[in-house]
Structure 1
Amino acid sequence: MNKELSTVTKQSGMVFTGKIIALIFGLFLNFLAARFLGAEIYGKFMFVFNFISFFPVLVLVGLQQGLVYFIPKFDDNEEKAQRNNLITFSYFLVFSLSLIVITLIYFNSNFIAAKLLNSPQLEHLLKLMAPLILFIALGQLSQGVFRGIKKIKFYVFNQDILVPITKIIVLIIAIILGSQLYSLAIAFYCSLIFGTLYLLTTVYRLGLLSKFSLNPLKHYKELLKFSLPLLLTGFLAVISQRTDSLMIGYFLNETQVGIYDIALKIGTLSSFILVAFNTMFAPTISSLYHRNDLATLSSMYKAITKWVVGVNLITFSVILLFGQDIMHIFGKEFIAGSTALVLVGIGQIVNAGVGSAGYILIMTGNPHYEMYLNFLVVFINVTLNLLLIPLYGIEGAALASLVSVAIANIVKLLLVYRKHRLHPYNLNYIKLICSIVFSLLVTQWLKSLLTLSWYSEFILLSLLLVLLSGLIYYIFGLDTEDKMVIRSITKKINKK
């Protein structure tokens, strides 16, 4: 187990570093957009972008996950030609489907804006943004390729450094030149085109492409047979994630979409650590399962989930104490989203609490469970949004998201235990939770005593909460796996 945990942690450490950098860039980008464009213009862009985001999942037809599952099966040199055929076929199929979907949206933009978005004035923005589908889809497919060959550093560099930096530079230039509504669209275009070219060039340079051929038809069918159920799974997941913003735009207005989007982005910041571990843990799950080494898989599941839970609990503690101050950073009009921010944060704790349960189901050959669960979640989420948004506004949307996320993750956890007798918990969680709760109470006490400016209190006490939680757990709670995770991540970060 030590070897596998060390390998996943080192590789996840690189993703972790990239996600930290991406969080900083992402927050700065959102700050620029919110401060200089305002909630209404920012909300218009995000309203259309959330709608556009449904379609990359459709054109991917689950291939990004399918490649993660199939590529490790072709590790031998004599099988690399078959691997390259699968990768080339996947790119060709996604490219072709993207062009078809973009064309359909362009020629039906009037109907979509008026009937589906309930905002006819968004037709031109919808036409402008439709081609983003192609670049988003190719980028997500490339993630599956790099995860499959366990060289995720190329995707991390692109997604977390190259693309965000390009977005920020282009957005600043667009704002200086006086562009308002289309400035974010221009920034996204430039960054995604640049990033897609980098990813495709890297795939070609690594020798992962071949001449397109239909000869290995059997392998293509196997890939699609595994991937197609994940198409519905992925699409339902996107519906669950984007429904609240879309329905806020439909029932309320674009300004509320902008406020809620900032709350959602801040509230889900801590998900980066789960993404980091899952990115490299997924191929390891498949490998351990095929070797029938469930004992190692169980130990890794416990160690990784505990770290994910710890980061999410600390982040939520900061949100609980300084929710209004955090939203104030983006402008006074965004303070209205502070309650929604807290509700989103609770949902993230539930999501973190089951760790990689969803990936365990998929990578052990049970993707259909994800599909069934997503059906349930979408039904609950849409129903609750229909009921709660007209009554409670963005807080109703956040509550609907919280309930649906909680139900989905609890069921995933139960399914993993039923199928494989795996769960992520041990007694060390008690030490972790006690460390964070004690730190939260101390920080709250100091907050009641201090009379500093809101931003000074936020910065100083947030740092104190994080450092105190980490110090107490380091002294009283670290076990062998924790120390290994720390060493592996530290080595990888220092090396990079």
Structure 2
Amino acid sequence: MEDDRITEETNYSRVFARGSTITFVGLILVSVSQLLLRIFLARGLSEAMFGLLFSVFTFFSLLNVFSHLGLNQAITKFVSGYNADNEPEKIRTSIFSSLTTVIGASLLVSSLVIVLSGFLSSYYFESPRAIPLLIILSVWFFFMSFHHFFTSVFQGFKDFSGRTLMRMVRNFTPFLLVIPTIYFFDLTLNRAAVFYLLGPVFSTVGGYWLLRRRRPNAVSIFPFPLSRPMLKEMLAFGVPLILAGFAGTLIGKIDTVLLTGLRSLRDVGFYQAAILAKPMLTFLSTSMAVPLFPIISELWTKEEIDPLREIISRLTKYTLVLSVPVALLFFAFPEEIIRIVYGSRYLAAANALRILAIATVFWGIESVFGGSLKGIGESSLVLKSTGSAAAANILVDLWLIPSYGATGAAAGSGVAFLVGLSVSFYYSKRKLKFSLPYRSLGKTVLGGMMILALAILLKNYLPLSLWLKIGSISLLCILIYFFWIFGTRIITEKDLDILESAVFVPDRIDSLLRRMCRT
């Protein structure tokens, strides 16, 4: 029995590792394309127009939960469970029953925004240029509901390559269209919005085609299966996640909303520049959190608790190990990074970038505990966690934004991420009774503080050019951190076994890493 348990843990660890690797590679490409797109937009538009564009995006992101009523998370859980029980007809029924509801909800929200576009442009955005932007992005919002739904279906099937391909198509489309426009035409606000619109259109068509190829029985339209009892069951799981999702969207997004209302669009532009730390850091945790949800759901359904606890413990450690060095290098070089990426016009965002670099580490670890709670069906506890974080975010923002602008908004996000981490850890620990490798986590933080001190010291005394200074210091710090995590046995041979199950590791490198683990 013990051998069977170990084999079961290893199998799930391999599935998890492969899913994480695929998602990780995809998120790197997506994050790079998003970063480059923001750079081109920031340089092609004025600070105010750059701020207006992302103010409208933030407005729609707050409405996102009303377009799916929690059914995106529900479809991942139900598809995963039905797939584990080998019930293809229930999979198909759950997909189409929930999809019809998503279509109706997203169409209603999009139509309302179009009708109210004049009012919103006058009394909230305070710019007539917001009207066409709201109309174009209302259509974008409608197609995004399809995009999110189909990526959730792929996630439920543990088809992480399909999910990643859809995300890449959506993000690369506007990026590839903006570049030639900047060089050969004038980049206007409305053109940029149309390019964003085409992203989910192409990804939805491609995603449905890919599902038909890989899971033809799951998405065949005829006969069109609908089940009201099944939809009620899915909504019972998903409805608490509407509020949780809204609260989760508020975290970080409310910063932009309140900046728009309490400060100038220029301040919004500064904050959007600082946010570059978030995708660059959260892709590390997201790449592991994406496969976590369906795997936890399946393990919980099968009542296999020991592998579940093992995955949570390891994922927490990996998230911290991967996030710490990148976050601390952002903390050490905020002015230099902003000058390189956006230019000196955005240097006012340096302190906000420094705060967000640390804050996103908290949010990355929170995604492990929050994803675990969703996986076991405790959507009400997810609501408590995200609701507490959102409330903290709003209170701190209202206190600090009027005086400190983008820096105050970043502080609000930091407090929210820490509150969310604390609450989700408390509830997931109480429900699942897992243990964490506290010694490894402590040694990881200590190693991070060492390289931060070294980076700041060398930054102030090395007489090198900007690029050479950042490159050489970053390389040295990462090498020291690498030897630290192996030398102090934060990373063990079991971790290397999981790595090998996900990606090819040359024999020489594998042998070297294992010797470092034993030293």
TM-score by length of 1: 0.94
Structure of greater relative contact order (alpha carbons < 8 Å, 6+ residues apart):
1
- The residue aligned with 1:173 is 180
Q: 1:2 to 1:77 in 2, by over 3 A?
A: closer
Q: What secondary structure, in the 3-state scheme, does the structure 2 residue paired with 1:117 have? A: coil
21, 34, 44: which one aligns with 2:42: 34
- Report the CA distance between 1:14 and its aligned residue: 0.7
Q: CA–CA distance in 2 between the matches of 1:267 and 1:218?
A: 40
- The residue aligned with 1:479 is 492
Within a 5 Å distance, the mapping from 1:7-156 to structure 2 comes to 7-75=15-83, 79-156=87-164
Q: Which letter does structure 1 place at the counterpart of 2:429?
A: Y
Q: Which letter does structure 1 place at the counterpart of 2:395?
A: T
- The residue aligned with 1:300 is 311
- Report the CA distance between 1:296 and its aligned residue: 1.9
Indicate if the aligned counterparts of 2:58 and 2:256 stay in contact, CA closer than 8 A. yes
- Report the CA distance between 1:92 and its aligned residue: 2.0
Long gaps (5+) in structure 2: 1-8, 508-519
Within a 5 Å distance, the mapping from 1:405-416 to structure 2 comes to 405-416=417-428
- Report the CA distance between 1:268 and its aligned residue: 4.4
Q: Deviations over 1:139-179 (max 9, x none)?
A: 1111210011111211202213x233221221123323113
Q: Which letter does structure 2 place at the counterpart of 1:112?
A: L
- Report the CA distance between 1:121 and its aligned residue: 4.2
Q: 1:221 to 1:493 in 2, by over 3 A?
A: farther
Q: Which moved more, 1:151-160 or 1:116-125?
A: 116-125
Report the RMSD for the aligned CA atoms in angstroms: 2.2
Long gaps (5+) in structure 1: none
1:188 aligns with 2:199: no
Q: Deviations over 1:434-460 (max 9, x none)?
A: 333333333333333311122221122
Q: CA–CA distance in 1 between the matches of 2:398 and 2:376?
A: 36
- The residue aligned with 1:253 is 264
Q: Which moved more, 1:349-358 or 1:37-46?
A: 349-358
Within a 5 Å distance, the mapping from 1:271-282 to structure 2 comes to 271-282=282-293
Q: CA–CA distance in 2 between the matches of 1:401 and 1:241?
A: 5
Q: Which letter does structure 1 place at the counterpart of 2:97?
A: F
Within a 5 Å distance, the mapping from 1:375-390 to structure 2 comes to 375-390=387-402
Indicate if the aligned counterparts of 2:78 and 2:156 stay in contact, CA closer than 8 A. yes
Q: What secondary structure, in the 3-state scheme, does the structure 2 residue paired with 1:356 have? A: helix
- Report the CA distance between 1:213 and its aligned residue: 4.4
- Report the CA distance between 1:118 and its aligned residue: 4.1
- Report the CA distance between 1:304 and its aligned residue: 1.2
Within a 5 Å distance, the mapping from 1:393-412 to structure 2 comes to 393-412=405-424
- Report the CA distance between 1:380 and its aligned residue: 2.4
Q: CA–CA distance in 1 between the matches of 2:366 and 2:59?
A: 29
Percent identity of the aligned residues?
22
1:199 aligns with 2:239: no
318, 321, 338: which one aligns with 2:329: 318
1:5 aligns with 2:13: yes
219, 224, 241: which one aligns with 2:235: 224
- The residue aligned with 1:392 is 404
TM-score by length of 2: 0.90
Q: Which letter does structure 1 place at the counterpart of 2:504?
A: K
- Report the CA distance between 1:493 and its aligned residue: 12
343, 361, 364: which one aligns with 1:352: 364
Q: What secondary structure, in the 3-state scheme, does the structure 1 residue paired with 2:503 have? A: helix
- Report the CA distance between 1:77 and its aligned residue: 8.7
Q: Which letter does structure 2 place at the counterpart of 1:363?
A: G
Q: Which letter does structure 1 place at the counterpart of 2:495?
A: D
Within a 5 Å distance, the mapping from 1:428-439 to structure 2 comes to 428-439=440-451
Indicate if the aligned counterparts of 2:96 and 2:225 stay in contact, CA closer than 8 A. no
Q: CA–CA distance in 2 between the matches of 1:52 and 1:411?
A: 27
Q: Deviations over 1:460-495 (max 9, x none)?
A: 22222223211332233221332123323433999x
Indicate if the aligned counterparts of 1:6 and 1:484 stay in contact, CA closer than 8 A. no
- Report the CA distance between 1:102 and its aligned residue: 1.3
